[in-house]
Structure 1
Amino acid sequence: MMDEQTSEPGRHTRSPFRAIRAIDYTVIFVRDMAAMRRFYEDVLVFPLLRELSPNWIEYGVGSNTLALARPSRTAADAPTPTGSASLQMAFKVSAAEVDQCADELARQGVAPLSPPANQSFGHRTLFFRDPDGNLLEVYAEI
Structure 2
Amino acid sequence: MQLVSVRVITNDVARLAEFYEQVTGRQARRPAPQFAELVGPSCTLAIGSAETMALFSAGAAVPESNRTAIIEFLVDDVDQEYERLADIAAEIVQKPTTMPWGNRSLLFRDPDGNLVNLFTPVTDEARRRVTPTAS
User: Does TM, normalized by the shorter one, top 0.5?
Assistant: yes
Q: Is 2:87 the partner of 1:115?
A: no
Q: 1:62 aligns with which of 41, 44, 58?
A: 41
Q: Is 2:42 the partner of 1:39?
A: no
Q: 5+ residue gaps in structure 2? A: 123-135
Counterpart for residue 132 of structure 2:
none
CA contact (8 A) 1:30 1:36 kept: yes
Relative to the length of structure 1, the TM-score reads 0.70
Which 4+ runs in 1 deviate beyond 3 A?
78-86, 107-111
Q: 5+ residue gaps in structure 1? A: 1-19
**What is the alpha-carbon distance in structure 1 between the residues aligned to residue 63 and residue 43 of structure 2?**
28
Number of residue pairs aligned between Structure 1 and Structure 2: 119
* Stretch deviating more after TM superposition (27-36 or 112-121): 27-36
Q: 2:71 aligns with which of 70, 89, 92?
A: 89
Structure 1 residue identity aligned to 2:105: T
Q: Which has the larger radius of gyration?
A: 1
**What is the alpha-carbon distance in structure 1 between the residues aligned to residue 119 and residue 17 of structure 2?**
23
Change (3 A) 1:111 1:44: farther
The alpha-carbon deviation at position 52 of structure 1 amounts to 1.4
- Aligned residues: CA RMSD: 2.3
The alpha-carbon deviation at position 111 of structure 1 amounts to 3.6
The alpha-carbon deviation at position 62 of structure 1 amounts to 2.1
The alpha-carbon deviation at position 32 of structure 1 amounts to 1.9
Aligned residues with identical type, % of pairs: 29
CA contact (8 A) 2:10 2:64 kept: no
Structure (1 or 2) with the greater helix fraction: 2
Q: 1:52 aligns with which of 24, 28, 31?
A: 31
The alpha-carbon deviation at position 114 of structure 1 amounts to 0.6
The alpha-carbon deviation at position 57 of structure 1 amounts to 1.0
**What is the alpha-carbon distance in structure 2 between the residues aligned to residue 75 and residue 34 of structure 1?**
23
What SS does the corresponding residue of 1:116 show, helix, strand or coil? strand
Counterpart for residue 129 of structure 2:
none
The CA deviation string for residues 97-138 of structure 1, in whole angstroms up to 9 with x for no partner, is 100110011243644111000111211110011111111101
